[in-house]
């Protein structure tokens, strides 16, 4: 069952200057912490992920989002490592977010939730490590928005990590990435059931809008080749086109399914706040235009992973991170994995990635 | 990789506890050896991802990259030694790469297969075709070795771009060391490969 840790005594100060109180962090752990506390692996989830990294997700009854990578005998081996995964700040799976109760107004925060950043998320994870009494994790790992958190750890809390594995990510959100997110947010806000974020007062939710947001985003997570291979122009359960706007094509049906399933598990306002946090992420501007300065105090080993078919967070962005780390003499490795699966490759069956993570992690563990 | 006599020569050239970058580090065998025996701070660049993974398993920090494009990311004098072992002949611009090596490294170690070896010469003379040898087995049209040179060619390039050769070792086919002094002509004839320790002349 999800564990909860609650902080009420101190205000949790955010990058925006605002603060949150109380702050609750929902998290899961797998495996056992060893006596020397040297086997902790912190997993940071992506935009729509949650704390259920592996085993069966008790809510969806499906395997956790990284079950393919994390578990008994798997590259992130639960027999060997103590794995921690928390729901991000601003999320909707138990950690304080827009659907949490605002103690001042006695109703959910909604749009009154403060705009949060990737740094704020990481700051909350630091509290969790303190709570678990873990001074230093063996590694912090994550893909996409999870990778942004990994980069923030490297930059802001270098003493708390022995190694780091940022995957399919970038040191800043590109203009195109912000553009896609804006489309998603506008879709949510255009839904009349959104009610300026106060849908909870009307006992409804902007499911159509959020579903369209998810459909658009999902396209960006795949690749043209992946879509073409999987669906081509195949028709969905029919022999002929219907000359209507029904989901004639398999790809339409698939996207609708993705959208409908997503809204069952995700809060629309959370989607707005988390996409915003990604948009605001920019380690370059935060370091006077020089990315390398983000890693001045970093003494950890870093393994950067990208995928050749990822056009949302392309390999070139990972290379910028590698260049910056190199220029600071950081112990950095980099692998650009051949894949046509698109951005979501990091969530899928990619044996080369498994090999990289297993090999790197084992080497760090014995070091 | 079993007959890498050049590795032993390279090991002798590297000082204990130094910082080393191996360009084209393959499965990391050389770096691992230098790490174990010479306690070096080892880094590598390798073009192919499966080989990068073999390095990561050995605990070596290796960046997947291309010597033709990715050397620029390293700051000046950031390594004690930059090693290019049997890779110079396959890069686009060997001269530029040599200069990059000595920008990044205080010293460079370069090993080359010798295209001046008598068997290579004889092959061309007798067959009238581009030479193929056990160590250079590919056809002219599909070889990665696009810039093969002889020991003499290498020496004159170093001279031309003001690189000082601190040490040079040639090996015959059995890995036996050949004496360089005053015998360049014969070394260039019977040496199968050569290893050079280099630095900038003005240092």
- The reported pLDDT for the residue numbered A7 is 75
Q: How does pLDDT run across A241-283, given as a tens digit for each residue?
A: 999 999 999 999 999 999 999 999 999 999 999 999 999 999 9
Residue B180 pLDDT level (bands cut at 50, 70, 90): confident
> Got the DSSP string for A221-288?
HS-HHHHHHHHTT-BSS-SS--SSSS--BHHHHHHHHHHHHHHHH--HHHHHHHHHHHHH-BTTGGGT
Annotation says A343 is catalytic: yes
pLDDT tens digits, residue range A165-178?
999 999 999 999 99
Handedness of CA A336, A341, A342, A347 (dihedral sign): negative
The percent of residues above 70 in pLDDT, for chain B, comes to 98
| pLDDT tops 80 at residue A330 | yes
The alpha helices in chain B, defined as continuous H runs, are 5-13, 29-38, 49-57, 94-104, 118-127, 151-160, 184-190
Domains of chain A are 3-173+283-366 (3.40.50.1820), 177-276 (1.10.1740.110)
pLDDT for the residue B203: 59
- Domain membership flag for residue B137: no
Question: pLDDT digit string (tens) for B110-130?
Answer: 999 999 999 999 999 999 999
Q: Residue B126: inside a domain, yes or no?
A: no
Average pLDDT for A224-240: 95
Read off the pLDDT of residues A146-159 as tens digits, 9 standing for 90 and up: 999 999 999 999 99
pLDDT for residue B1: 41
ipTM of the shown complex:
0.89
Decide if B21 touches A, using CB distance below 8 A.
Answer: no
* B87 within domain boundaries: yes
pLDDT of residue B202: 75
Q: Are A89 and A116 in contact (CB under 8 A)?
A: yes
Position B85 confidence tier, pLDDT thresholds 50, 70, 90: very high
Compare CB distances from A355 to B53, B60, B74 and report the shortest one's residue: B53
Q: Which residues of A touch B69 (CB under 8 A)?
A: none
Q: Per DSSP, what are the bridge partners of residue A104?
A: none
B49 touches chain A (CB under 8 A): yes
Alpha carbon distance B199, A232 (integer Å): 58
Q: Is residue B139 part of a domain?
A: no
Name which of A329, A336, A360 is nearest B56 (Cβ-Cβ): A360
**Does the CB of B173 have a partner CB in chain A at under 8 Å?**
no
Domain with residue B89: its CATH number is: 3.40.50.150
In a domain, B141, yes or no: no
Q: Do A333 and B75 touch (CB under 8 A)?
A: no
To the nearest whole Å, the CA of A206 is away from the closest chain B CA by: 44
Is A161 near chain B, with CB under 8 Å?
no
Residue B3 in this model has a pLDDT that exceeds 70: no
Within a 10 A sphere around the Cβ of A225, how many other Cβ atoms?
13
- Across the interface, of A329, A337, A364, the residue whose CB is closest to B78 is A329
CB-defined contacts A:B, below 8 A: 58
The average confidence (pLDDT) of chain B is 93
- Residue B140, pLDDT score: 93
User: Which pLDDT score, from 0 to 100, does residue A248 have?
Assistant: 96
Which of A323, A331, A356 shows the shortest C-beta gap to B61? A331
Judged by a CB distance cut-off of 8 A, whether residue A327 touches chain B is yes
> What is the tens place of the pLDDT at every residue in A108-128?
999 999 999 999 999 999 999
Residue B123 maps to a domain: no
What pLDDT is recorded for position A1?
58
> What's the whole-number average pLDDT of chain A?
96
- pLDDT of residue B35 exceeding 70, the answer is yes
Grade residue B147 by pLDDT with cuts at 50, 70 and 90: very high
Residue B2 pLDDT > 50: no
Distance of alpha carbon A118 from alpha carbon A14, whole angstroms = 10
Q: Which residue has the higher pLDDT, B2 or A198?
A: A198
Q: Closest-CA residue in chain B for A324?
A: B73
Radius of gyration for chain B, computed over Cα atoms and rounded to the nearest angstrom:
16
Binary contact (B56, A322; C-beta < 8 A): no
- What proportion of chain A, given as a percentage, has pLDDT over 70? 99
Range of the domain at B81: 5-115+146-200
Task: Answer whether A355 sits within 8 Å of B65, measured CB to CB.
Answer: no
Which tokens in the block code for residue B47?
Answer: 């073009």
Q: Distance from B84 to chain A by nearest Cα, in Å?
A: 18
Instruction: Determine contact, residues A299/A270, Cβ cutoff 8 Å.
Output: no
What per-residue confidence (pLDDT) applies to A212? 98
| Nearest CA-CA partner of A116 in A34, A207, A191, A20 | A20
Work out how many domains chain B is built from and give that number.
1
Question: What average pLDDT does the segment B33-60 reach?
Answer: 96
Complete DSSP assignment for B84-117: EES-GGGSS-HHHHHHHHHHHEEEEEEEEE-TTS
Q: Mean pLDDT check: name the lowest of A1-10, A310-319, B137-146, B153-162.
A: A1-10
Instruction: Tell me if chain A has a CB within 8 Å of the CB of B56.
Output: yes
Contact A301 B74 (CB under 8 A): no
Residue B78 touches partner A, C-beta closer than 8 Å: yes
| Contact residues, chain A, for B74 at CB < 8 Å | 326-327
Percentage of chain A surpassing pLDDT 90? 95
């Amino acid at each position: 069952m999800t564990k909860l840790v609650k902080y009420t005594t101190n205000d949790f100060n955010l990058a925006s200057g605002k603060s949150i109180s109380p702050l609750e962090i929902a998290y899961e752990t797998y495996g056992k912490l060893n006596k020397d506390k040297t086997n902790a692996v912190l997993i940071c989830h992506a935009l729509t992920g949650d704390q259920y990294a592996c085993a069966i997700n008790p809510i969806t009854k499906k395997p956790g989002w990284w079950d393919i990578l994390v578990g008994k005998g798997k590259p992130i081996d639960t027999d060997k490592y103590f794995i921690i995964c928390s729901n991000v700040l601003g999320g909707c799976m138990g950690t304080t977010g827009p659907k949490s109760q605002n103690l001042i107004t006695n109703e959910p925060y909604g749009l009154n939730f403060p705009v949060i950043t990737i740094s704020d998320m990481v700051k909350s994870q630091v509290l969790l490590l303190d709570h678990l009494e873990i001074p230093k994790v063996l590694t912090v790992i994550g893909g996409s928005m999870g990778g942004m958190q990994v980069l923030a750890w490297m930059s802001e809390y270098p003493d708390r990590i022995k190694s780091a594995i940022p995957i399919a990510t970038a040191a800043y959100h590109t203009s195109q990435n912000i553009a896609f997110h804006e489309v998603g947010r506008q879709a949510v806000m255009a839904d009349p059931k959104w009610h300026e974020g106060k849908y909870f007062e009307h006992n409804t939710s902007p499911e159509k809008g959020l579903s369209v947001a998810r459909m658009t985003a999902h396209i960006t997570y795949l690749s043209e080749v992946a879509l073409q291979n999987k669906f081509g122009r195949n028709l969905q359960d029919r022999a002929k086109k219907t000359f209507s706007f029904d989901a004639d094509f398999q790809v339409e049906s698939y996207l609708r399914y993705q959208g409908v399933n997503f809204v069952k598990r995700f809060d629309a306002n959370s989607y707005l706040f988390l996409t915003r946090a990604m948009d605001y992420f920019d380690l370059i501007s935060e370091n006077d235009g020089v990315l390398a300065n983000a890693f001045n105090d970093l003494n950890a080993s870093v393994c950067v992973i990208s995928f050749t078919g990822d056009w949302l967070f392309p390999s070139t962005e990972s290379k910028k991170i590698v260049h910056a780390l190199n220029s600071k003499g950081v112990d950095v490795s980099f692998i650009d994995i051949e894949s046509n699966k698109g951005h979501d490759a990091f969530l899928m069956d990619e044996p080369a990635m498994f090999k990289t993570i297993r090999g790197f992690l084992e080497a760090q563990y014995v070091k | 990789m079993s007959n890498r006599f050049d590795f032993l020569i390279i090991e002798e050239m590297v000082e204990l506890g130094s910082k080393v970058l191996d360009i084209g580090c393959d499965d990391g065998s050389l770096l691992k050896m230098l790490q174990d025996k010479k306690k070096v701070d080892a880094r590598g660049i390798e073009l192919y991802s499966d080989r990068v993974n073999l390095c990561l398993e050995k605990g070596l920090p290796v960046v997947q990259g291309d010597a033709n494009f990715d050397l620029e990311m390293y700051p000046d004098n950031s390594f004690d030694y930059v090693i290019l072992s049997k890779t110079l002949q396959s890069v686009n611009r060997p001269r530029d790469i040599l200069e990059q090596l000595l920008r990044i490294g205080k010293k460079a170690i370069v090993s080359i297969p010798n295209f001046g070896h008598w068997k290579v010469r004889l092959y061309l003379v007798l067959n009238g075709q581009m030479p193929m040898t056990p160590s250079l087995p590919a056809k002219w049209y599909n070889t990665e070795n696009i810039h093969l040179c002889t020991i003499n060619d290498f020496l004159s390039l170093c001279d031309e771009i003001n690189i000082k050769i601190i040490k040079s070792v040639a090996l015959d086919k059995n890995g036996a060391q050949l004496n360089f002094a005053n015998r360049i002509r014969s070394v260039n004839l019977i040496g199968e490969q050569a290893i050079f320790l280099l630095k900038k002349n003005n240092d």
